[in-house]
Chains A and B, each alone.
Chain A
Amino acid sequence: MRRSLYIFLLSLSVLSATAQEDIFDLLDEESESAQYTYATFKGTKLLNGQTNETPGQGVLQYIISHRFGSFTDEYLYNFFGLDNAHIRMQLDYGLSDRLNMGIGRSSVLKTSDVFVKYRALRQKTGANPFPLSLTLYSALNYRGARFTDGIDHNNSDRLSYHHQAVFARKFNERFSLLLAPSVVHWNLVPGPEDPNDTYHLLIGGRYKLNKRIALTSEYAFSSNRRYGSGATEVRFHNPMSVGVDIETGGHVFQFHLSNTRAMSDPLWMAQNPYNAENGSLFLGFNISRVFTVDQ
């Protein structure tokens, strides 16, 4: 009996001692609030393709992109390809932290585009963790360039579409990866055998070297590698690019080397005629600037 008394007294003192020490442990029993993963990628675009990121609510973003001439095309005569630059400009706005809309204009085939991007799912930790982010992206592209085939075309012949689901995961503060299944639809294709719909799988990643500089890379597989056959055959090559992201405050500079020149999605993804193995490589950059319009 006396022994059990001691045990009880002992446990009592232990209990009261722990109850006092535990006061700071109570801090660690965090509230259930979700912590969304931030900055999976630096930009809303990785190189040519989209990332899961959108500008925040009330943020206006301007992106100017250039793709220079090929290394194989009189490189020095053309001042490292700068004389043959293609350009794309983009202006987009964050309607909410999830919804983003924008317009763009590319010089290749004088293509105008309008797009909408929506963050459907966000990677998060906390009480209900979720392992990845999903952003949906849709773009409508309008070919402004005149047709040279002598046929009277409808306006709808100028349209193409691109729909994409961007699955992204930030594995740690340095490494992020994305997988983006895509479908491209052309209202007009060269021949009856040529598919109007082509399917693509984009793989991209980034590795941060330090707080402001990251290496990026991107590759897309395609369901269709040619249009036409025989003499009229045009072969397409899977787009691939490597680049570096440099972030300075409100700007993100993205410099890269790729085998693509067009910047509207259907063209670079589904109809890229350049073969890296033949030396068709191009330097290019995207520069983004954000303005907080509405706080």
Chain B
Amino acid sequence: MKNILLTVLLVSSTFVSAQQYLTREARLNFDAGSPLEDIEAFTESGSAVYDATTGKIGVQVLMTSFQFKRALMQEHFNENYVESEKFPKASFKGTYSEGNVTGGLTIHGVTKEIRVPARLNKESGNFILVTSFDITLADFDVKIPSAVANKISKTASIQVQATLKNISK
């Protein structure tokens, strides 16, 4: 009897985790440039998780992992704008359903509820997540000094691309 229960337990726990998908190599881009200045960065070390049973989906990235073309711009991004020392991570935690993700987006320590279109397709056992959306920097309390206000866009467009693999594999 005990053995049966143990088996049930083990099977059910693997069943649960079998629905979970993960990557540590999510690619995120953002563009907050203006006609006066290119401000673009990317990282390929974002984390993304998806639970196919519950529809829960999460993305998280270390702010210091964003690579800029210019070293000084990268330093300013971390030090003056998103304050990576205080707020090291940005994350999204929510749910996916029918072509949309809904949930809390946290940047610079500020969480805002968003609902944006996203593609989440299953391809050869992996989930491919693709989404692109705009955020308003002021919503996340990212302050732009007036001296450079015309160089930095008030909105940033963010792209996410991730191939999430089944955890149990």
A19 touches which of B2, B13, B60 (Cβ 8 Å): B13
Query: In the complex the two chains form, what is the Cα distance from A172 to B84 in whole Å?
Result: 12
- B113 interfacial by beta-carbon distance below 8 Å: no
Chain B residue at minimal CB-CB distance from A28: B60
Chain A residues with CB under 8 Å of B9's CB are: 8, 11-12, 15
CB A4 to nearest CB in B, in angstroms, measures 7
CB B133 to nearest CB in A, in angstroms, measures 19
- B114 interfacial by beta-carbon distance below 8 Å: no
> Which of the four size classes fits the interface of chain A?
35 or more
Interface residues of B (CB under 8 A from A): 1-2, 5-6, 8-9, 12-13, 16-17, 20, 22, 24, 45, 47-51, 53-54, 56, 58-60, 62, 64-65, 69-72, 74-76, 78-80, 83-86, 88, 91, 93, 147-148, 167
How many contacts A-B (CB < 8 Å)?
109
Do A295 and B69 have beta carbons less than 8 Å apart?
yes
Besides A38-B74, A56-B74, 5 new A-B residue pairs in contact (Cβ under 8 A), listed by A number:
A15-B12, A20-B16, A20-B51, A24-B49, A56-B72
Do B79 and A1 have beta carbons less than 8 Å apart?
no
Q: Mark A8-33, 1 if CB is under 8 A from B, else 0.
A: 10011001100110011011101101
Chain A residues with CB under 8 Å of B74's CB are: 38, 56
Do A23 and B64 have beta carbons less than 8 Å apart?
no
Chain B residues with CB under 8 Å of A38's CB are: 64, 74-75, 78-79, 84
Interface residues of A (CB under 8 A from B): 1, 4-5, 8, 11-12, 15-16, 19-20, 23-24, 26-28, 30-31, 33, 35-36, 38-39, 55-57, 59, 94, 97, 172-173, 211-212, 248-250, 290, 292, 295
Chain B residues with CB under 8 Å of A250's CB are: 72
Chain A residues with CB under 8 Å of B64's CB are: 35-36, 38
Chain B residues with CB under 8 Å of A292's CB are: 69-72
* Contacts A12-B9, A39-B78, A250-B72 given; does A19 touch B1 at CB 8 Å: no
Chain B residue at minimal CB-CB distance from A248: B147
Do B85 and A173 have beta carbons less than 8 Å apart?
yes
Do A27 and B71 have beta carbons less than 8 Å apart?
no
Do A31 and B45 have beta carbons less than 8 Å apart?
yes
Do B49 and A27 have beta carbons less than 8 Å apart?
yes
* Contacts A38-B78, A39-B75, A211-B80 given; does A20 touch B54 at CB 8 Å: yes
Chain B residues with CB under 8 Å of A35's CB are: 62, 64-65, 88
Query: In the complex the two chains form, what is the Cα distance from A31 to B45 in whole Å?
Result: 8
A-B pairs, top 9 by smallest CB distance, nearest first, are: A56-B71, A27-B60, A173-B85, A19-B16, A31-B24, A8-B5, A295-B69, A23-B51, A292-B70
